[in-house]
Amino acid sequence: MSTDFVYPYLPRLSVDKFPINFCCFEVYYSHSKKGVIRGLHIQGETSKLVTCQRGLIQDVIVDLRPKSPTYKKWIEVFLHDNESVFVPAGCAHGFKTACSSTVLYVCDEVYQPEADTGIRYDDPDIGVRWAWENIKPCIGVRDKRLPSFKEWSEKYGYDRIFV
C-alpha cells in the first residue's frame, strides 16, 4: 500500500462506552482494485459492521431516516487494515478504494433480494465528495444503474419504515 495517502485520526470507542445491540446473521466480503467506488447500497432494515481487512478505503454513510436530525447528510471515515465502522439500519453505505482493498460486511439481518437497493454514488441531492480525485474512479454496472435519491425515495422511501 502506498504511504502517500493521509487519513484523519479517528478516536476509538470501547464497547462499554458505546454499546450497540447487534447480532450477526450473515457475513460477506468484497475485493476491489484501486479506484473502485461501491454504493451507495441499502439493504432494508439491516445494520452492518464494515471492516477494511486490507487496504485503504473512504467509507461513506448516508442517513436516510426522515425523522433523523442528520437526514440526507453523509459522513466519511477512512479505514485501513482491520479498522471498522458501524452502519445503522436506515443508512446507505458506500466506499472508494485508494488501493487494492478487501472489505468485510457483518450484517444483522438475512439477505433479502427484494430489499437490496441503493442510490447513485454521484447523486447531487446527497453530494458525496469522493476522496483521491487523482485516482480514476471505477464504477460497476450495478452501481451505475442505481436510482437518484429522488427516484429512490419515491419508490422505497424509508418514511414508511423508519419513523
Which one of 41, 93, 121, 156 is the catalytic residue? 41
31 in catalytic set: no
41 in catalytic set: yes
Which one of 28, 71, 93, 105 is the catalytic residue? 105
Contact 35, 96 (CB under 8 A): yes
CA 147 to chain centre: 16
- Distance (Å, whole) CA 110 – CA 101: 25
- C-alpha atoms less than 13 angstroms from C-alpha of 39 in its C-beta half-sphere: 25
**Which residue, 123, 116, 114, is CA-closest to 144?**
123
In angstroms, how far is the first alpha carbon of the chain from the final one? 43
3-state secondary structure 128-163: CCCCCCCCCCEECHHHHCCCCHHHHHHHHCHHHCCC
Residues found in the chain: 163
Question: Which residues participate in catalysis according to the annotation?
Answer: 41, 105
